[in-house]
Structure 1
Amino acid sequence: MIIEALRVFVTVTEQSHFSRAADLLNISQPGVSLHIRNLENEVGAKLLHRSPKQVRLTEAGDMLYKTAKQILSLYEGTKQDIHRLQDKVTGTIQIGASFTIGEYVLPKRLAAFAAQYPLVEMQVTIGNTEEIVQAVRANELDLGLIEGEANAADLVITPYMKDEMILIAPAAHPLASAHFVDADMLQNEVWVLRESGSGTRAFSDQFTQDAQIVQKRSYVFNSSQSVKEAVISGLGIAMLSRWVVRRELESGEMGELRLNRDRFERSFSIIRHREGAATMASDVFVQKLLLASD
């Protein structure tokens, strides 16, 4: 990048030494030499007189040094202006989120975003994955945050964080005290499930199908909160995101059934309509989601 080459050139000039410039810029001395060589090729003139003890500017180098200082100053000022502009982002973002994300993950993200961009209004719709996908496809939402699959050609799908799915049981359940369980130990249990169309339900169904687990019977609820409360009450076992149950696991209100195998992971994804008109506010929100690490 020409800006980086100019920065290296100015630093070498002011330090009168390649190795001191390399130390200041935290790059190798060959890297400094490469930047200077590329810059000389770019302007078509020798910029520096090199000697073992010091570096001196040529006539062309002296001319470029003065201009380079101005360019770098303008560049840094422009970057600051852009950052200030981003801090003044305004508008409304229509966000859709599936239940696990909307109830347990998104609130913290919204609070952080609102603190940085107080002029942006956010309206959140919570539903299951299928409902959020359909709303984004109908252009009723600027973006959706889902935990299940979305195979639609008119959507742009971007995974943004991993989620761990775990098996849970009432605290008094015989399996809750087991160090590990296997699929055979889960046969003929009562299961508490999310409704069809839920990403959590799809993941749970795939697990029981792959493990060839036969359910004694099942109860269906249309929110993860209801499933969690049903498990705590002793109704049966379930598979939910660790985000949903981590406090209850810590308090001992329920137990985790650990399978002797790898962790169950899925991705949370951002979905946007391929032909939708993205706003600056929604673009910045998506950028912040992708940068978030926890």
Structure 2
Amino acid sequence: MKYSFRQLEVFLAAAHFQNITRAAESLAMSQSAASSALKELENQFDIQLFDRVGKRLQLNELGRLYRPKVEAVLAQANELEQAFSKHTEVGALKVGATLTIGNYLAVGVMAQYMNTPTHPRVSLEVANTSTIARRVRDFELDIGLIEGELQSSELDVLPWRGDELVVFCSPTHPLAQKTSLTDEDLRTATWIMREQGSGTRQSLSGACTACCRINVLLELEHTEAIKRAVEADLGIGCLSEVVLADAFKRGSLVPLTVPEHRQFDRQFYFILHKQKYRSAGIDAWIELCRQLR
């Protein structure tokens, strides 16, 4: 074999940090050793994987082509190492989830996944749909759980489960007295919404397209902040039923009935890089998610 796993690790670290010094630090190597490993890899095959601009390394077309293949090779090697050392095929996992899923669903799956004889670790990053998709594309996350529609030539987007968005307000809001909202109510209401790039905002915008633009007073990144703003009668909101169940039980918020022709249901999805190796850990995570009720 003309290359070593260490050389491949240096290549991926350099691709991630775009700087050989930072790549070396992440691998606990000296800068000279990392630089030599990368140079040897390129010289052995008479190729160039990076364009070098000063101290910055930028993947060229060839480097971008080989990066997912190297990711797959090292993922399989790491899984084999874990199987040898721990007698298990389920290992550590890097998961990304959008806000609703991360705060209300993913933690329960993490507990089940980690509750195995070897107690594999799971790291969870919570961000909006566009951020999670970008990090999965860059191989910084093994799998993403998102609540928005996504089109990407680099990612597999797999349906997971259905979800319903609920429009809501405080019990003292004028719309709380209406048995059903009209399109005009949706158009003229003041809204407290998630930010652009979130799955919730995307779904609501799609549902309300035909009744024209909604009037957004505040854009907030966190569901709890949106609920508090709506409780304070700053406007009405729209969030997943998963997020609102407890507030509805307490009576601090009330659901509003939207016009029947408006579609406020949506899908949650798994996203994975098309060229990423599907480890046993990823398959186990997906299965646990599908069992979730």
CA distance in 2, matches of 1:224, 1:190: 17
1:230 aligns with 2:229: yes
Change (3 A) 1:106 1:193: same
| Secondary structure of 1:112's aligned partner | helix
Change (3 A) 1:214 1:152: closer
What value does the CA root-mean-square deviation take over the aligned residues? 2.0
Q: How far does the alpha carbon of each residue in 1:238-279 deviate from its partner, in whole angstroms, 9 at most, with x for none?
A: 111111111001110111111241662110000000111232
Residues 74-93 of structure 1: pairs in structure 2 closer than 5 A: 88-93=88-93
2:69 match: none
CA distance in 1, matches of 2:90, 2:136: 21
| Secondary structure of 1:266's aligned partner | strand
Checking the alignment, whether the CA contact within 8 Å between 2:90 and 2:284 is kept in structure 1 is: no
Q: How far does the alpha carbon of each residue in 1:49-98 deviate from its partner, in whole angstroms, 9 at most, with x for none?
A: xxxxxxxxxxxxxxxxxxxxxxxxxxxxxxxxxxxxx9944421000000
1:256 match: 255
1:196 aligns with 2:161: no
- Segment drifting more, 237-246 vs 110-119: 110-119
Residues 120-269 of structure 1: pairs in structure 2 closer than 5 A: 120-212=120-212, 214-215=214-215, 217-261=216-260, 264-269=264-269
Change (3 A) 1:184 1:93: same
Change (3 A) 1:277 1:209: same
- Segment drifting more, 219-228 vs 133-142: 219-228
Aligned partner of 2:109: which letter?
A: R
Aligned length: 207
TM-score, normalisation: structure 2: 0.66
| Secondary structure of 1:186's aligned partner | helix
TM-score, normalisation: structure 1: 0.66
Q: How far does the alpha carbon of each residue in 1:167-216 deviate from its partner, in whole angstroms, 9 at most, with x for none?
A: 0112211111322222223332211011111111111222232222542x
- Segment drifting more, 180-189 vs 125-134: 180-189
Q: How far does the alpha carbon of each residue in 1:271-291 deviate from its partner, in whole angstroms, 9 at most, with x for none?
A: 00011123221221112223x
Return 5+ residue gaps in structure 1 as ranges.
1-85
Residues 92-131 of structure 1: pairs in structure 2 closer than 5 A: 92-116=92-116, 119-131=119-131
Aligned partner of 1:146: which letter?
A: I
| Shift in Å, 1:118 | 5.1
CA distance in 2, matches of 1:203, 1:168: 15
CA distance in 1, matches of 2:112, 2:234: 37
- Segment drifting more, 241-250 vs 169-178: 169-178
1:285 aligns with 2:285: yes
Q: How far does the alpha carbon of each residue in 1:143-188 deviate from its partner, in whole angstroms, 9 at most, with x for none?
A: 0000001111111111110000110112211111322222223332
Change (3 A) 1:268 1:214: closer
CA distance in 2, matches of 1:151, 1:197: 13
2:7 match: none
CA distance in 2, matches of 1:118, 1:258: 48
| Secondary structure of 1:120's aligned partner | coil
| Secondary structure of 1:191's aligned partner | strand
1:16 match: none
Change (3 A) 1:113 1:169: same
Q: How far does the alpha carbon of each residue in 1:12-35 deviate from its partner, in whole angstroms, 9 at most, with x for none?
A: xxxxxxxxxxxxxxxxxxxxxxxx
Q: Which of 1 and 2 has greater Rg?
A: 1
Return 5+ residue gaps in structure 2 as ranges.
1-85
CA distance in 1, matches of 2:133, 2:148: 10
Aligned partner of 2:138: which letter?
A: A
CA distance in 2, matches of 1:89, 1:168: 45
Checking the alignment, whether the CA contact within 8 Å between 1:120 and 1:281 is kept in structure 2 is: no
Residues 268-279 of structure 1: pairs in structure 2 closer than 5 A: 268-279=268-279
Change (3 A) 1:117 1:180: farther
- Segment drifting more, 94-103 vs 226-235: 226-235
